[in-house]
Amino acid sequence: MVGSPDRLAQGARLEVVGDADVRRVIIDSRRAQDGDCFVAVRGTVTDGHGYIAQAVASGCTAVVCENATAVPHGIAHAVAADTRQVVGPMAQAALGWPSRKLPVVGVTGTNGKTTFSYLLRDILRAAGQKPAMLGTIVYDTLAHATQAGTTTPSPVQLAELMAEALAAGATHVVMEISSHALDQHRTDGIDVDVGVFTNLSRDHLDYHGTMANYLAAKRRLFRSLGPEATAVLNRDDEHADELAEGLRARKLWYGLSGASEVYARIGEVDVSGSRFTIVHGDQESSVATALTGRHNIYNCVAAAATAIVLGIDQRGIAAALSGAACVPGRLQPVPVEAPFRVLVDYAHTDDALRNVLSSLEPFRRSGRLILVFGCGGDRDRTKRPEMARVAEEFADVIVVTSDNPRSEDPESIIDEILVGFSPLGMAKVTVEPDRRLAIAAALDAARPGDVVLIAGKGHEDYQIVGGVASTLTTWKRPPLQCAA
């Protein structure tokens, strides 16, 4: 949709000086072409105001910024107090508000967002719908499926992806919304119809500083929901009541007890999967899924509750959950020609690691649990010793290694992890900073009946060292191959 700066600025409530024909909205000056409107955004690393001249030189006919003195003479422009808050509405307006033309489900929480999204997509597909999915692993618009760069992309890319999904015939958009995205206003301008909360535990304190700030970022999603929207909330999480306060949206509670409107009555959880009954009012539906662990039952119930809001039949929901495939990098089995099991998982917080390791407890009846894990560099340092304590509690053999050290020294990160082990626990620990060698050590240590869990990276096929991402796609130990 082509328009004037005035037209695009209406949704953002801006006053425009000058006039021009605008073709699209951009925030990256390197993408600038004739007829673009460049919105200068102050990022965490760079400031878009320093690239206004470059954008104009490349053809931009309009600029939105926080200081008009940076705009070349004669260029149409508008000034905003915080451009992060206006770029989303402007990008949506430029493309005809695609988020208003199909139901949008936005899920947030520390853990479970990706599994929830895959499960809901499976349910919708089984019901004959055509959901697009945007999240940590992939941006799938139905027209194209591309590897995700971040859990939640920029406001401009979100608008473009939603427009592409709409044109491709999508019936819904299922999207993961990170706390960073909420804090940075990346989802402003998107009309979310169903907001879903999975859980909240310690993570991203390197960015948010405190748990209170982290919770406040999550709350933004639910405060943005209108009266026709629905908030699907985890009754069993200690932070849910705070998120529910003062909402205009309808609320639907889910959990693992009758205190919730939609809940799971657990039957059996073992190495083969989980069997439970979904209860909603007087309806009960049995589910038998290959996904194991209480955390995955929560994910299933969250997806079921959301599907109920979207009008999907409960029997169809249960059937889809029973047939759901393994989510990439989430307790994903790796085919091995060996008398032991190998799994990869994305768990990179102490809470997520506890959930995954506890779900593997039944495997220890026939063998040992061997764990490979590390902690990310330039990220929340407080969870490093906590992850060690969880590892010591559940694992029999532990190999501590690197996991995206980024700008930090890998051995310094490992030293901070080791602080969390007791002297007795250290007897179970081997340290190997090289991730490939660490995995090889775990495999060499494995005996018949053991389970090897490679935690932290899940679906990721790279390692970030010193700001450079290098491919990490194989174990380099035939015949075993896996993203590690």
- 119-145, pLDDT tens digit by residue? 999 999 999 999 999 999 999 999 999
At the top level of CATH, the class of 5-94 is: alpha beta
**pLDDT tens-digit readout, 68-126:** 998 999 999 999 999 999 999 999 999 999 999 999 999 999 999 999 999 999 999 99
- In degrees and rounded to multiples of 5, residue 222 shows phi and psi of -75, -30
Q: Which two tokens stand for residue 252?
A: 């639907």
pTM above 0.85, yes or no: yes
Residues of the chain with CATH 3.40.1190.10: 98-322
Predicted pLDDT at 6 = 65
Is the pLDDT confidence value at 202 over 80?
Answer: no
Half-sphere exposure of 199 (CA within 13 A, CB side): 24
- Residue entry with tokens 């993408």: 31
Cα 139 to Cα 131: distance, rounded to the nearest angstrom: 12
**For residue 474, pLDDT beyond 50:** no
Q: What are phi and psi of 281, to 5 degrees?
A: 65, -125
Task: Choose among 453, 462, 391, 447: nearest CA to 422.
Answer: 391
Helix, strand, coil share of the chain (percent; to 5): 35, 25, 40
Per-residue pLDDT at 321: 98
At 257 the pLDDT is 95
With bands split at pLDDT 50, 70 and 90, how would you rate the model's confidence at 7?
low
Q: Does the pLDDT at position 477 exceed 60?
A: no
Angle at 389 between CA 216 and CA 452, to 5 degrees: 105
Average pLDDT score over the chain: 93
The CATH code belonging to domain 332-471 is: 3.90.190.20
pLDDT(16) > 70: yes
- CATH 3.40.1390.10 domain locations along the chain: 5-94
Give domain 98-322's CATH superfamily. Answer: Mur-like, catalytic domain (3.40.1190.10)
- Where in 347-446 does DSSP place strands (E)? 369-373, 397-400, 429-431
Helix axes 410-418, 383-394, angle to 10 degrees: 60
In the DSSP assignment, the letter for residue 364 is G
The pLDDT of 188-215, averaged and rounded, is 92
Is pLDDT above 90 for 343?
Answer: yes
Give the percent of the chain with pLDDT over 90.
Answer: 85
Using alpha carbons, select from 341, 349, 346, 391 the residue that is nearest to residue 371. Answer: 391
Q: What are the tens digits of pLDDT across the range 154-170?
A: 999 999 999 999 999 99
pLDDT digits (tens, 9 = 90+) for 386-425: 999 999 999 999 999 999 999 999 999 999 999 999 999 9
**Cα 146 to Cα 177: distance, rounded to the nearest angstrom:** 17
Residues of the chain with CATH 3.90.190.20: 332-471
Instruction: Flag whether pLDDT at 152 surpasses 50.
Output: yes
| Residue 96: predicted pLDDT | 93
Measure the CA–CA gap between 2 and 22, rounded to whole angstroms.
Answer: 6
